[in-house]
């Protein structure tokens, strides 16, 4: 659906070679993962988000946690504890 509300957020770009290149070009404040592609939010993705955001929002929403895009532990470690992590699955405490 196209309209004035979606046009506020639309950006025109050439295709990106990979996810990290897209993050560096678009500079999102959050990445949302409803894909069930395990570990797609890898170290390079989290580090890119942490470089461009003071508090990067990492939202792996896939279940079960086996299919999660990232774990809480990795999001916090790879972002030097900057990440705001929200998920729909239960992750065990790690500190």
Quote the pLDDT of residue 93. 76
Quote the pLDDT of residue 24. 96
Q: pTM score, two decimals? A: 0.85
CB-based contact 42:75 (threshold 8 Å): no
Quote the pLDDT of residue 35. 84
Distance between CA atoms of residues 71 and 68, nearest Å:
7
How far from each other are the two terminal CA atoms of the chain, in whole angstroms? Answer: 44
Q: Could you read off the pLDDT tens digit of each residue along the chain, which spans 95 residues?
A: 555 665 667 788 899 999 999 999 999 999 998 888 899 999 999 999 999 999 999 999 888 888 899 999 999 999 999 999 998 878 777 66
CB-based contact 43:70 (threshold 8 Å): no
Quote the pLDDT of residue 28. 94
């Amino acid at each position: 659906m196209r309209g004035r509300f979606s046009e506020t957020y639309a950006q025109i770009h050439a295709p990106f070679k990979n996810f990290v290149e897209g993050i560096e070009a678009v500079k999102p404040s959050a990445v949302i993962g409803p894909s069930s592609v395990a570990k797609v939010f890898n170290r390079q993705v989290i580090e890119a988000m942490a470089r461009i955001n003071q508090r990067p929002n990492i939202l792996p929403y896939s279940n079960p946690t086996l299919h999660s895009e990232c774990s809480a532990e990795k999001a916090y470690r790879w972002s030097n504890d900057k990440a705001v992590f929200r998920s729909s699955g239960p992750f065990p405490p790690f500190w």
